[in-house]
Amino acid sequence: DAKTTQPPSMDCAEGRAANLPCNHSTISGNEYVYWYRQIHSQGPQYIIHGLKNNETNEMASLIITEDRKSSTLILPHATLRDTAVYYCIVRVAGTGRRALTFGSGTRLQVQP
């Protein structure tokens, strides 16, 4: 699986959009981009994933650049409950139920 690079920490004002970047310059054509987050004292939680098209669900939007070398997770209206560590994970498709390889993630602090 391709490696990812994320900033170690970010701040965001409550109510504003939080834009979390991820670099995955060595991504292969059949690798998906996954985002999970981990709120303090909880297990990681799935947010969203995508291959090359932008994706949106009730939690967030995922924007993947055309060359697929980077992506951005967008939380449109951040709340204090969004304070967490966010993990960007690149994973090969079609390999069955493989485990996730977590990096250090980005610690997002939403400020009141």
Q: Which residues bind other proteins (CB under 8 A)?
A: 41-46, 49, 87, 91, 93, 95-105
| Rounded distance between C-alpha atoms, residue 94 and residue 81, angstroms | 34
Rg (CA), the chain: 13
The pair of structure tokens assigned to 83 is 């304070």
Q: How far is the CB of 44 from other proteins (least distance, A)?
A: 5
The smaller minimum CB distance to other proteins, of residues 12 and 47, is found at 47
Q: Which is nearer to other proteins, 48 or 110 (CB)?
A: 48
Asked whether 35 and 87 are in contact (CB, 8 A), the reply is yes
Which CB, 21 or 32, lies closer to other proteins?
Answer: 32
Instruction: Give me the least distance between CB of 97 and other proteins, in Å please.
Output: 4
Nearest approach in angstroms of CB 59 to other proteins is 12
Give the N- to C-terminal CA distance of the chain in Å, as an integer: 37
Q: Tell me whether residue 42 is exposed, middle or buried, using C-beta atoms within 10 angstroms of its C-beta: 0 to 12, 13 to 18, 19 or more.
A: exposed
Based on CB atoms, which residue is closest to other proteins, 54 or 101?
101
Q: How far is the CB of 45 from other proteins (least distance, A)?
A: 7
